[in-house]
Structure 1
Amino acid sequence: MLTRPGSLAPSLPFARRAVALGLTLLALACSGCVERRYTVRTDPPGALVFINGEEAGISPVSVNYEYYGDRRVTIQAEGYQTIHTELPIRAPWWDNALTGFVSENLIPFTLRDEREFRFTLAPGVTPPTGDLIGRGLQLRQEALQPAPPRPGPFRRFFAF
């Protein structure tokens, strides 16, 4: 479309630039992000923390994650009882199945979901020496017993 000088209709190159600028601004506005992190703290600090069977580090330890749900946590420290527990990590209202796309993609700033879990370690209990020796002797007697006979290949195949 050609326009005469002095007319009010925009020129074609100007319209293309405006569309390109609008698309660029839209792309920049769609750069939202959600950062998720939880921290495990122990009293006393310095305990070894395992999350879902994998070593996470020495407490206090922070872990970034992508998905909500329960985590199996094991906390060990020398001289203290070991803690086995599950951490329930539920999604906040702004990051659920219905609003997740908007909070992840369309909000132009970073949302942070930071959580903290605290554990107090109880001192370890050492059993009396007599009990330990008795358990050791019992295990030795069980180990010296002959193993039960193994079924032949035919019986093993049919599991009877």
Structure 2
Amino acid sequence: MEKSVTKKSLILFLLALILAGCVHRTMTIRSEPPGALIYLNNEEKGITPDTIPFTWYGDYEIVLRKEGYQVFRVIQPIKPPWYEVFPLDIFSELLLPVRLEDQHFLHYELKEAEPVDKDALLRRADELRQEFVVPEEE
């Protein structure tokens, strides 16, 4: 009986250690001007400035959209800190009994959209339409 209690205690202790360790990853995206819609890997995530949690390291496609500004698109690499590189990540993720914070701060400048010359745009559309007209079959 005493052995089973000790064994259960050891298992509970190990589980507590495993569940205690973790890394909380976030990326804070800011833009100038603020208020741009954020798309992260084709998913709408919020409006700048915003802090977004993430799970995996690697390349993320970030798209920012704001009326009156050009659409901003970038492939942003998010690199792991030293404690998240194999085999150290086993300890930081599972065995370290503290919560680690991995924060990435990203800042992007949006460019104002250039005014569109509607007449030139319509002329170009007509040219393209005439160039690609499919003849009707009889």
Common topology (TM > 0.5): yes
| Structure showing greater Rg | 1
- 1:45 aligned residue (30, 34, 56): 34
Q: TM-score, normalised by structure 1?
A: 0.74
**Does residue 29 in structure 1 map to residue 17 in structure 2?**
yes
Q: Which runs of no fewer than 5 residues in structure 1 stay unpaired?
A: 1-11, 150-160
Q: Following superposition of structure 1 onto structure 2, how do residues 131-150 of structure 1 map, counting pairs within 5 Å?
A: 131-146=120-135
CA distance in structure 2 between the aligned counterparts of 1:125 and 1:64, rounded to whole angstroms: 34
Give the residue type in structure 2 aligned to 1:29: L
How many residues are paired up? 136
How far the C-alpha of 1:34 sits from its partner, in A, is 0.9
Task: Identify the residue that residue 114 of structure 1 maps to in structure 2.
Answer: 103
Give the residue type in structure 2 aligned to 1:28: A
Q: What's the C-alpha RMSD, in Å, of the aligned pairs? A: 2.3
**Does residue 73 in structure 1 map to residue 62 in structure 2?**
yes
How far the C-alpha of 1:89 sits from its partner, in A, is 0.3
CA distance in structure 1 between the aligned counterparts of 2:122 and 2:14, rounded to whole angstroms: 73
CA distance in structure 2 between the aligned counterparts of 1:104 and 1:95, rounded to whole angstroms: 8
How far the C-alpha of 1:63 sits from its partner, in A, is 1.8
- 1:104 aligned residue (93, 99, 103): 93
Task: Identify the residue that residue 49 of structure 2 maps to in structure 1.
Answer: 60
How far the C-alpha of 1:22 sits from its partner, in A, is 4.4
Listed one character per residue, the Cα deviations across residues 10-48 of structure 1 (whole Å, up to 9, x for unaligned) are: xx74x6655544443343233211111101111111111
**SS of alignment partner, residue 144 of structure 1:** coil
**Does residue 125 in structure 1 map to residue 114 in structure 2?**
yes
Give the residue type in structure 2 aligned to 1:52: N
CA distance in structure 1 between the aligned counterparts of 2:132 and 2:40, rounded to whole angstroms: 34
**SS of alignment partner, residue 55 of structure 1:** strand
CA distance in structure 2 between the aligned counterparts of 1:16 and 1:57, rounded to whole angstroms: 51
Q: Which runs of no fewer than 5 residues in structure 2 stay unpaired?
A: none
Give the share of equivalent positions with the same residue, in percent: 32
How far the C-alpha of 1:81 sits from its partner, in A, is 1.0
Q: TM-score, normalised by structure 2?
A: 0.84
Relative to its length, the structure with more strand (as a share) is 2
